[in-house]
Amino acid sequence: MMKTFSIGGIHPSDSKISKDCKIEVLPVPSKVYISVAQHLGAPATPIVKAGDQVKVGQVIAEPSGFISAYVHSSVSGTVKSVGPRKDLAGNNMTHIEIDVEGDEWIEEADLSDTLVTAIPEDNKAILEKIKMCGVVGLGGATFPAHVKLCPPPGKKADCLILNGAECEPYLTSDYRIMLERSKEIVVGAAIMKQVLGGCPAVIGIEENKPEAIKAMAAAVAELQRSAKGYEGISVMTLKKKYPQGGEKQLIDAVMGRQVKSMGLPIDVGAVVQNVATSLAVYEAVQKNIPLVTNVMTITGDCLPMEKQHNYKFRIGMPLSYIAEYAGGIPEKAAKIISGGPMMGKAIANMDATTVKGSSSLLYLTAEQTVRGVESACIRCGKCAEACPMGLEPFLLNKYARNNMMDELEENAIQDCIECGCCLYSCPANIPLLDIIRIAKGDVIRIIRGRTAKK
């Protein structure tokens, strides 16, 4: 029997229209704008100034805290300016503007296609490389990868889970890299598993991607035959259900363990990394290539098949440039989303640029995005049934609207993962997630304030 997480979940149509589009490499534009906030945590501090010459892969911003990451130049050329520019939500953020001249990489980068299977022995050096190459989690949250790979003292990883669920509808970038870069992903998994102390690694993939399951299983088998250090890696087929790719849901599905409220995956001995992160780890450790590229999907129902793409992009490319290159924005598109339709963000500013975690340009039509008229809660309980964290959204909605912070905390609003299942399932069109998200922020601030006081 196929495994999946135990509570809640929904089954949206998977709409993986662009799944057969091979990854194409986007040409470098004449100018890029690289944001210093491409990861969770403190924005990085720029270390270049206008007039500096940079190469591809050169560090241009340093981390400014424990949870922060290096940012590298994705092009070679001259730094034009360092200053505020609007990100995709329209908020100001420091960007480094670079005029592109040629495509000269840093010397240590190995750009050849040869697969390096021998894993270096020094774990400290590996972690340092992952950190120096600015690798962050590419599953959505962009949490710095090296932090996750160093469990706090006293805690041990029992299992490394590679997230290949890609449960969001429409997105196919992870699927494509699992098909086209399967061996590299497995090497990345072997590296991370060694750093974590040799625990087993499981690559979790949903059943709707049989080719990816086959490709990954073949890559694992071949590497286990031909090289050392690959034992204990396996592929697990998961029953399709959204949000399988959620960290806590995936741990439940693969290991059958539940992370406690406000707890971390490492508390139950799990470390979860996306397959794209694994690829970035491979490139950083084996090829000395910093994280300056990633794969994104250009898709949507209103886009003809020939305009559907999976692109390998470099960070700092304007979204408008990518949309233009891909054949323009379709006329019927009413909303453009970066990320999946469930958790992605609507783009308010097409002049914004790609970041490490960019995963798509998704065109939705007016019919797909329009919100129904809100009506009274009929207490059908569909939201409570759908919530993968076992919360009661209808209750949280009521408490949140009345600012009842104690009750919200008692009902574990802080555990909400903002997956949107409640909003998706509500027949009364109540903006459950919008209201819960705001109240969740308030409650977490209260909890943090309390622990800070102690």
Partner 1 sequence: MTQTIIWTIAILTVLGALLAVVLYVVAEKFKVEEDPRIDEVEKVLPGANCGGCGQAGCRAFAQFCVESSPNLDKCFCPVGGNDGMQKVAAVLGVEVAAKEPQVAVVRCNGTCENRPRTNEYGGYQSCRVKAALYSGDTGCSFGCLGCGDCVAACQFGAISMDPATGLPVVDEEKCTACGACVKACPKAIIELRNKGRRNMRVFVSCVNKDKGAVARKACKAACIGCGKCAKVCPFEAITVENNVAYIDFTKCKLCKKCVAECPTGAIHAVNFPVIKPKPEAPAAPKPAETPAAETVNKEA
Q: By the criterion CB under 8 A, which residues form the site for partner 1?
A: 84, 86, 89-92, 335, 345-346, 348-349, 369-371, 431, 434-435, 437-438, 441
Instruction: Give the residue with the Cβ less far from partner 1, 141 or 370.
Output: 370
As measured in angstroms, the least distance from the Cβ of 235 to partner 1 is 37
**Nearer to partner 1 (CB atom), residue 278 or residue 358:** 358
Minimum distance from residue 261 beta carbon to partner 1 (Å): 23
Q: Which two tokens stand for residue 244?
A: 């399988």
Q: Least distance to partner 1 from the beta carbon of 352, Å? A: 11
- Is residue 92 a contact partner of residue 111, using CB atoms and an 8 Å limit? no
As measured in angstroms, the least distance from the Cβ of 89 to partner 1 is 4
One-letter amino acid at 289 equals: I
The answer to whether 320 and 350 have CB atoms below 8 angstroms apart is yes
Q: Which of 270, 264, 265, 247 is nearest to 5 (CA)?
A: 247
| Cβ-based nearer residue to partner 1, 257 or 332 | 332
Is residue 142 within 8 A of residue 68, CB to CB? The reply is: no
Compare residues 7 and 346 and give the one whose CB is closer to partner 1: 346
Least distance CB 315 / partner 1 (angstroms): 21
Bond before 243 cis per omega within 30 degrees = yes
Q: 87 vs 174, which CB is nearer to partner 1? A: 87
Cβ proximity to partner 1: between 30 and 91 the closer is: 91
Cα-based distances in Å from 114 to 25, 57, 67, 184 = 18, 19, 33, 10
State the chain's maximal CA–CA distance in angstroms: 64
**Closest separation in Å from C-beta 438 to partner 1:** 5
Q: How far apart are CA 266 and CA 422, in angstroms?
A: 27
Which residues are within 8 A (CB) of 414 and not within 5 positions of it... i.e. 6 or more apart? 261, 262, 440, 443, 444, 447
E strands, 291-356, in order: 293-300, 309-314, 333-338, 345-346
SS3 183: helix
Least distance to partner 1 from the beta carbon of 50, Å? 16
Q: Write down the least CB distance from residue 97 to partner 1, Å.
A: 15
Contacts of 47 (CB under 8 A, 6+ apart): 59, 60, 61, 62
Q: Report in angstroms how near the CB of residue 369 gets to partner 1 at its nearest.
A: 6
Candidates 257, 285, 252; CA nearest to 149 is 285
For residue 88, the one-letter residue type is L
Question: % helix / strand / coil in the chain, to the nearest 5?
Answer: 30, 20, 45
SS3 assignment, position 188 = helix
- CA-based nearest residue to 418, from 438, 433, 408: 433
Q: Which is nearer to partner 1, 240 or 335 (CB)?
A: 335
What are the φ and ψ backbone dihedral angles of 208, each rounded to 5 degrees? -80, 5
CB of 203 to partner 1, least distance (A): 34
Count of beta carbons in the 10 Å neighbourhood of residue 316? 27
Q: Which is nearer to partner 1, 145 or 364 (CB)?
A: 364
Closer residue to partner 1 (CB): 370 or 380: 370
Closer CB to partner 1, residue 251 or residue 416? 416
The residue (of 6 and 429) whose beta carbon lies closer to partner 1 is 429
- 221-246 burial, b at 16+ Cβ within 10 Å, e below that, comes to eebbeebebbebbebbbbebbbbbbb
- Shortest approach of partner 1 to residue 441 CB, angstroms? 7
